[in-house]
Amino acid sequence: MKQYRHLIRPYLIWSLVLVVIPLFLIVFYAFTEEGNEVLTFSFTWKNFARFLEATYLNVILKSFWLGFITTAICLLLGYPLAYFISRFSEKAQDTLILLVTIPMWINMLLRTYAWMNLLSDNGIINQLLGRLNLGPVSMMYTDFSVLVGLVCNFMPFMIIPIHTSLCKMDKSLLEAAMDLGANRVQTFWKVTWKLSMPGVVNGVMMVFLLAVSSFVIPKLLGGGQYMLIGNLIESQFISVGDWNFGSAISMILAVIILISMRLMQKMDKLQQEE
Amino acid sequence: MKQMRANTKLQNAYLAFLFFLMYLPVAIVILFSFNESKLYVSFSGFSLVWYEKLFRDSAMMEALKNSLILGILSCAVSAVIGTLGAVSLSALKLRSKGVLEYIAILPLMVPEIILGMVLMAFFYMLKLPFGMLTLLIGHTVFCVPYILVEVKASLALMDPSLTEAARDLGASSWRAFLDITLPLVMPAVASGSLLAFAMSMDDVVISIFINGPRISTLPIKVYTQIKTGVTPEINALCTIMLAVSLTALAVFSIFRSHKKEENRDEEQIDRASEPDQEL
């Protein structure tokens, strides 16, 4: 297929103009001071130094903590779901996986809005609790409501890759393990879990990436005061207007994510080679 | 082969419970599109009033129209760039190939919020007026990778000798591309474009940074309304959209299973006409 080499031009131009140059632009902004032009600028570390202020450090730690918890819950709930789905007949599996994706066809914001109304003080859940005399429980604008929104929205991204790798698994390996005297727990850990690792890695990476950088869901379910990295970036660009600091935060977030993805891929490769 | 152990009742109950949680917000959206009252608090009675209002709401219809135009245009542009990119990338044997492939999926790995603000800063620097054009350019940034990844995966399964044969028989490289490669990757282009279209129709994070003051897409409309309270018109609109996509899916799967059966019939006829080899 050598003859197709020159067809690369449109793609090359697109990726250079719309991916590479804009991303370099934030690196440029991150290292310069406000009011600089492309031709007259001065290099500075100031934007990065501001991270060491407690307010910003806390925002970053909280984002990563929340991303970690969301990923863990999605894995804990999603893995068994994917596993149980994989034990149905092939046709039923197709339908069930379709059912996992259908909620994503309804606008994400609208689903989040539905959660706002479910969780609010006089919402449906609290009305039910009130009837059971369990009293209204304040759930909105807390870590809990944000977690509910994140987990419910990103669950399919965990289930689908895990299910895919469970499907690809050679089922005769399970029989072999059983025949060789492994009990069911051993078979699961030594065969099923290990072979589904690529799917788990994929799912974990996806959910973590989405959760750590989400900003619409925390804004709606956590309220205006709820600050995660995404909200911090948005406020720097839109309301504060400090593009340089905003770029520095973005750069740090992007670098951390790209490095952790690289590490996950490496780990995955090592495990497969074992 | 031994059948795998079926699920126990408890396991199926777990399945049902998680599906219940995933469908709860969807059910709320659909239920309240038929609600008489504007308030979300309780269901006061069945009515189609929001559906009626929706079709008279010109701003909402305008947003829907913008979303559809944007989705279709950005998919069309991305399909061309993504397909050409995938085909040429798989033809390259340079050391730089790895870098180019990494750049290709970079927009899917960089958080949306960063892409949004990066594009805003970039368009601002170029002094492009914010509006449909910036939205279109911005949406190709995440649409191209979806299509490119799909097409590249299907190219990996393709037999390279097919195009070589076409070249040996005197076809120009464009002819070989149009007559051999393109028809073979078409299903992947279609499924990638569909995914990209869905992403474009649902995108709010990138769009709110680059839409400008005058133009509004459907997700942006929802986003701005949430602060003041969403009118059930949007619920009605999303219910219709879900119904349309489910119908399309049903028609498509019936069509496909029908085709499969036809193929199976043909296969059986073929087999029947062949002499039985076991004898």
CB contact under 8 A, B141 and A247: no
Q: Which of the residue ranges A123-127, B92-96, B154-158, B205-209 would you say has the lowest mean pLDDT?
A: B92-96
Tokens standing for residue B276: 């039985």
Nearest to B76 by CA among B200, B239, B210, B167: B200
pLDDT at B279: 41
Of these ranges, A130-134, B4-8, B69-73, the one predicted with the greatest mean pLDDT is: B69-73
- Quick count: other Cβ atoms within 10 Å of Cβ B146? 25
Query: Residue A217's domain spans which residues?
Result: 54-273
The DSSP letter of residue A88 is S
Q: Which of the residue ranges B11-20, B60-69, B170-179 would you say has the lowest mean pLDDT?
A: B170-179
Q: Return the sign of the alpha-carbon dihedral for residues A51, A71, B191, B23.
A: negative
Q: Which residues pair with A43 in a beta bridge?
A: A32
pLDDT at A124: 81
Q: Which residues in chain A touch residue B233, judged by CB atoms under 8 angstroms apart? A: none
d(CA B252, CA B245): 10
Do A148 and A69 meet the contact criterion of CB atoms below 8 Å apart?
A: no
Domain annotation covers residue A176: yes
Do B215 and A87 meet the contact criterion of CB atoms below 8 Å apart?
A: no
pLDDT at B41: 66
In CATH, what number is assigned to the domain containing residue B134?
1.10.3720.10
Mean pLDDT, rounded, for A84-93: 88
ipTM of model over 0.90: no
CB contact under 8 A, A14 and B223: no
Flag whether residue A216 sits within 8 Å of chain B, measured between CB atoms.
yes
Percent of chain A, pLDDT > 90?
Answer: 21
d(CA B243, CA B241): 5
Q: Which residues pair with A111 in a beta bridge?
A: none
Tokens standing for residue B197: 């279209």
**Minimal-distance CA residue of chain B relative to A74:** B18
d(CA B33, CA B50): 7
In CATH, what number is assigned to the domain containing residue A142?
1.10.3720.10
Do A195 and A174 meet the contact criterion of CB atoms below 8 Å apart?
A: no
Domain annotation covers residue B216: yes
Helix or strand run (H / E) with residue A43? none
Query: Residue B226's domain spans which residues?
Result: 65-231
The single residue listed with the structure tokens 């969780």 is A119
B147 three-class SS: helix
Q: Is B273 a residue whose pLDDT tops 70?
A: no
Domain annotation covers residue A69: yes
Q: Which of the residue ranges A209-213, B190-194, B226-230 would you say has the lowest mean pLDDT?
A: B226-230
d(CA B275, CA B279): 9
Q: Is A189 a residue whose pLDDT tops 90?
A: no
Domain annotation covers residue B152: yes
Please indicate whether residue B261 or residue A157 has the higher confidence score (pLDDT). A157
Measured in residues, chain B has a length of 279
pLDDT digits (tens, 9 = 90+) for A234-262: 888 888 888 888 889 999 888 888 888 88
Domain annotation covers residue B263: no
pLDDT band, very low/low/confident/very high, at B207 (cuts 50, 70, 90): very high
pLDDT digits (tens, 9 = 90+) for A13-67: 998 888 899 888 888 888 887 665 555 667 778 888 888 888 888 998 999 999 9
**Candidates A107, A188, A236, partner chain B, best to mutate (most B CBs within 10 A):** A107
**Minimal-distance CA residue of chain B relative to A153:** B22
Domain annotation covers residue A141: yes
DSSP, residue by residue, B46-114:
B--HHHHHHHH-HHHHHHHHHHHHHHHHHHHHHHHHHHHHHHHHHH--STTHHHHHHHHHHHHHS-HHH
pLDDT digits (tens, 9 = 90+) for B34-86: 888 777 667 778 888 889 888 888 888 999 999 999 999 999 999 999 999 98
Q: Which residues pair with B46 in a beta bridge?
A: B35
Domain annotation covers residue A117: yes
Q: Which residues in chain A touch residue B80, judged by CB atoms under 8 angstroms apart? A: 10
Q: Which of the residue ranges A79-88, B68-77, B155-164 would you say has the lowest mean pLDDT?
A: B155-164
A32 three-class SS: strand
Percent of chain B, pLDDT > 70?
Answer: 89
pLDDT band, very low/low/confident/very high, at B5 (cuts 50, 70, 90): low
- Quick count: other Cβ atoms within 10 Å of Cβ A160? 18
Q: Which of the residue ranges B55-69, B110-124, B159-173 would you say has the lowest mean pLDDT?
A: B159-173
Do B249 and B194 meet the contact criterion of CB atoms below 8 Å apart?
A: no
Percent of chain A, pLDDT > 70?
Answer: 94
**Smallest CA–CA separation between A193 and chain B, in Å?**
16
Nearest to A120 by CA among A140, A105, A100: A140
| Overall domain count for chain A | 1
B35 three-class SS: strand
**Smallest CA–CA separation between B274 and chain A, in Å?**
30
Tokens standing for residue B19: 């599906």
Domain annotation covers residue B248: no
Q: Which of the residue ranges A80-84, A140-144, A237-241, B24-28 would you say has the lowest mean pLDDT?
A: A237-241
pLDDT at B1: 38
Q: What are phi and psi of A43, to 5 degrees?
A: -75, 140
Torsion angle in degrees (nearest 10) through CA of A191, A194, A195, A199: 150
Q: Which of the residue ranges A141-150, A229-238, B152-161 would you say has the lowest mean pLDDT?
A: B152-161
Domain annotation covers residue A27: no
Domain annotation covers residue A4: no
| Overall domain count for chain B | 1
pLDDT digits (tens, 9 = 90+) for B99-110: 888 888 889 888
Please indicate whether residue B266 or residue A148 has the higher confidence score (pLDDT). A148
CB contact under 8 A, A21 and B198: no
A270 three-class SS: helix
Do A21 and A222 meet the contact criterion of CB atoms below 8 Å apart?
A: no
